[in-house]
Structure 1
């Protein structure tokens, strides 16, 4: 098809090594950045791929894109966008198979993109220097972003870093999906929902599914004004001595639904935050094992039984599979458009009860419904 004026198309960065880029603490300073500048001709990148590359010892961000054509109502008035609507999304952006380490700030950031893909990246030792609030992998002001099969660990949370999570659906997003990711040993937590982090901004319909969070600290789910997020079939493991909050709410959010998750919490953290409002969350078919704070969420199909993970405390995702005799088996709530597969590639049953957590055991055909899983 013909492409409009102002578009640059077909860029491939493959198997390169970027290192020792001593920038400053602004988000214009990076290991690799694709940037659209200017305000005269509407411009965007199309068919941009960065893959199989290594970025290490850089300030501030590792791999990212930016644009001056980023203003729309959902983004709010941040960056001088008040009243301006010039959003021109970048298309066919792919960040795949890269290794990002030892950054002063963020690892990978996807901005102003339509159906961008961030997958199979290894991101670690992130936010190593005091450069403000930073996250391992995140997307902002984008539609239908897909963040999957990434391994993110050892994101630091220095005193000036208000975040420090592995992943973030930031403000101005529609329908971002975070799936099949492994988050572990991150000082800020697993997942940040930051729809209200910009002035007048919102984020809608984020999906977080089939992920494993192991030994993350701080806040597993950190929530700031998110509309209609769906959080399902994730497994969260918190060891003895952990003080991480399962949910930390900073401002009012709208209808966050959590289903079929396994919370294996041997620590002391629970459900808190300066604006924690239980009515903003709906819990259905979740397993809460271990710590039971007094404000543990109500759940009509709650289970507090040991979900019988194969080797809880292990270092490999396979350690967090379900034992064949697990009470979490066929105890979840059916979900439409459920992605079709679990973390390991096993099929998720369609139209009947799945297993809880990020792992699905084999299911009989036709699949069977389970009786109530309440204790």
Structure 2
């Protein structure tokens, strides 16, 4: 650890003390910073729309099972722009260190040098160092040439253990503490740290609550800034492919010690400090910053690391109270004077496991920061919170899997995600939170605002809450989430651990829209209060539905297959079971979200948990959208436009018009379940050229049902084909018949319809069906992973349950409608695996794995083509031969099983 601020400052690059820092902060960071963040986001390793990171989970679990699996995985450093220095336990400090044959030996030798941009400090794979001082190289890199601290060779990651470091300091209460860091940087920037095994586990320590005496003021990687007399941004940190574990840090709470002394121990800690005469950070409540100007971090990326059993936390980002605590403010901007947050922090694709320590609490604790993202992390066994935000603004928390958070003997809370005090404009989406104490803690004291959407919250501990409202000032929007209880015990979906007063606070507001509350126990509860609003939610197994939810949908939501939902230890996340069946009453029953008042969080662009766009004047309830086929409707008859509506899932019994109580009496099965437009009957009086326009999102057939009493059809209908099918509706005791006309449209085509052709008789109805309709999968166990899609392309994910992609496909097939099957359905042995209808004359193509040498009997009536689909299975390519068969419009296509339980399932395309 550096004991002299002068010595540490000598390593500061010329651009670190940036006199324009305040301006950059007000602008949200420099252009370069924004560019770097965009590059980081684009490089996210998990490109599939799945919470967590399955690759990192498997890696982390393998390392926990055997530490020998912590291998050097970064590619060789290649040509350095500076000098490469090598360190080997069997080396010698009398060597020059610049070749693998002349390496240095000790950390002290590494610390004695000031490094330049582009230099690399590489430790030998398999080497081990028990530290007596922290690794603290001096100097800074540059944006173009960071300093690299990493590994060379193959095998185990180099081990740096700080268990023997114990530098004493005395707290204000007179108690003695011992500081210990494995790797330390101070007022330095532009560093890449990778491929190290870092720990600080005292001998005999097992992580139990009784071992208080073994806990020190410990950190694995400790990066600090401070003691600067000009405003300073420290930036350009990349920490990746690290194994940081068993950092036995002491536990200091905010309520116990105040902000500055609290929660400063972690596997990885970034913080701002003021140093004392002893060379250590001043620990006081608060720290006196007189004579110093604010310092903060920017452009920090922490990714692809495994962090296990670190206390207090896994990853912590902090700022001093003088510059990091937010005072009272109002939305939507929540501007606060004197606030100097860290910016552009990216924490992604990490595996964090705290199951083995009673002291290991938050896995990710992001504070005093803005314009940052936490995504694709896996958190298991946290105490207090899996992911906690405190004094933050404009943070996105997405695609994370958090499970096993529990109340530990050393802590209190036990939630998956906590948007805590003075946290504003937090966007929390696409996360899978399961088997925790509380699911979500809304702890917005002082003030706060957040949006929670398209998350799955499954199974909380008995007596806990899926949504714990525990703040006293804020605006929180909670929509299109699934709250699912799989147990036979009753669940508390919404309530407050602080009592009913938090549900009736005149300054604190929660809005619940389009959520599914599902429990097999009919006595589960959803608490209400004057500050809580419910609308358009689905309730199953809820004892008392909030009276204010006048658009509540009560009953079975008709999930695809909730038994297929998996995640957690040893499992790849699969949430497809929460998709809705075609007949679900939740399709089109949602509230359209147009704004988030008192926040700066934009509604659009918005996609569901599968990545489908949520657009148009109709939406579904829950976290998955059933692909809308009609969007962007414009009605020229402005006098009656309010009575027109895009609807989903047309059925017998539906009201045909928005301004009449006429119902559909009969409708052929081909049309049932289609998207449709409920028109206004009074629009029959409209005589303009164009009555309505809309866009179809997929290759589709549009159907017009025209009143048979109109003997002279409008001229525009001459281009449409009359079918022999009829829609009938009932007017009192009179049944009216409507002939159905059809016309085909390509995906994204604009459909323009004229007036009905009569001011006396009824207006027409509109139904839209995609080319592939009425799909039914007999393999119910895996049906949720099947989906009908448009426009197959190279690069598409081939199976709904495997990360296998289309590597190549002949041009004739590119753009075809297709069915993404489930690979696991190859095990289905029933005679019929799949049926669907085609809405026009079509050729159906089946691509079957060439390794299946005995083709299924049903394929004998199909014609073999010379074409191949080729997939990519983690670098291995497989060929699929393509077979074809022609079908007439409205035909049912029936396909059997794949003919092999060993090789890949088939893929279906339609043109």
- C-alpha distance after superposition, 1:250-301 (max 9, x if no partner): 22362211100011122333145xxxx61111111000012323x6453010
Runs of 5+ consecutive residues of structure 2 not aligned to the other structure:
1-14, 22-230, 253-262, 275-288, 330-335, 567-573, 595-602, 633-645, 649-653, 656-911
1:325-371 Cα shifts (integer Å, max 9, x gaps): 21111110111225420011011123x12111110011012372368
Give the Cα separation in 2 of the matches to 1:309 and 1:213. Answer: 15
The answer to whether structure 1 residue 206 and structure 2 residue 450 are counterparts is yes
Q: Secondary structure at the match of 1:347?
A: coil
CA distance in 2, matches of 1:159, 1:289: 35
SS at match of 1:319: helix
After TM superposition, the structure 1 = structure 2 runs for residues 260-275 of structure 1, keeping only pairs within 5 Å, are 260-267=514-521, 268-272=523-527
SS of alignment partner, residue 235 of structure 2: strand
Question: Following the alignment from structure 1 to structure 2, what is the Cα–Cα distance between the partners of residues 348 and 126?
Answer: 33
Q: Higher RCO, 1 or 2 (CA under 8 Å, sep at least 6)?
A: 1
- Say whether 1:31 aligns with 2:277: no
2: CA distance between counterparts of 1:91 and 1:270? 40
Post-superposition offset of 1:74: 3.2
Distance 1:241 1:157 in 2: 23
Contact 1:220–1:247 (8 Å) recurs in 2: yes
**Equivalent-residue separation in structure 1 for 2:552 and 2:386 (angstroms):** 32
SS state at 1:363 partner: coil
Query: Which residue pairs with 2:460 in the alignment?
Result: 216
Q: Cα–Cα, structure 1 residues 234 and 46, in superposed 2: closer, same or farther, change >3 Å?
A: same
**3-state SS in 1 of match to 2:325:** coil
Q: 1:131 matched to which residue of 2?
A: none
Q: CA deviation at 1:157?
A: 2.0
Instruction: Give yes or no for the alignment of 1:358 onto 2:616.
Output: no
Pairwise CA distance, 1:48: 0.6
User: Does 2:537 align with 1:286?
Assistant: yes
Structure 1 position 71 matched with structure 2 position 325? yes
Work out the CA distance in 1 between the residues paired with 2:546 and 2:326: 38
Quote the Cα distance in structure 1 between the aligned partners of 2:409 and 2:315. Answer: 24
For 1:221 and 1:307, the matched residues in 2 are separated by: 20
For 1:327-338, what aligned pairs fall within 5 Å after superposition? 327-336=585-594, 337-338=603-604
Cα offset, 1:161, TM superposition: 4.0
How big is the alpha-carbon RMSD for the aligned residues of Structure 1 and Structure 2?
2.1
Q: Does 1:50 align with 2:50?
A: no
1:183 CA displacement: 0.5
1:114, distance to aligned residue in structure 2 (A): 1.3
Query: Alignment length, in residue pairs?
Result: 346
Matched-pair contact (CA < 8 Å) for 1:266–1:291? no
- Residue 88 in structure 1 maps to residue 340 in structure 2: yes
Q: What secondary structure sits across from 1:139 in the alignment?
A: strand
1:159 shift after superposition: 5.8
CA offset digits 1:174-198 (Å, max 9, x no partner): 1111000000111x221100012xx
| TM norm structure 1 | 0.87
Secondary structure at the aligned position of 1:91 is classed as strand
Report if aligned partners of 1:183, 1:214 keep a CA contact under 8 Å in 2. Answer: yes
For 1:117, the equivalent position in structure 2 comes to 373
Q: Over alpha carbons, which structure has the higher Rg?
A: 2
SS at match of 1:126: coil
Partner residue in 2 for 1:326: 584
SS in 1 for 2:576: helix
- Which whole-Å CA distance do the structure 1 matches of 2:488 and 2:539 have between them? 17
Distance 2:395 2:511 in 1: 20
For structure 1, the residue ranges without an aligned partner over 5 or more in a row are 76-83, 128-133
Q: Distance in 1 between matches of 2:400 and 2:487?
A: 26
Q: Which residue of 2 aligns with 1:192?
A: 441
Please point out which of 401, 404, 415 is paired with 1:154: 404
CA contact (8 A) 1:149 1:181 kept: yes
- 2:393 aligned counterpart, secondary structure: coil
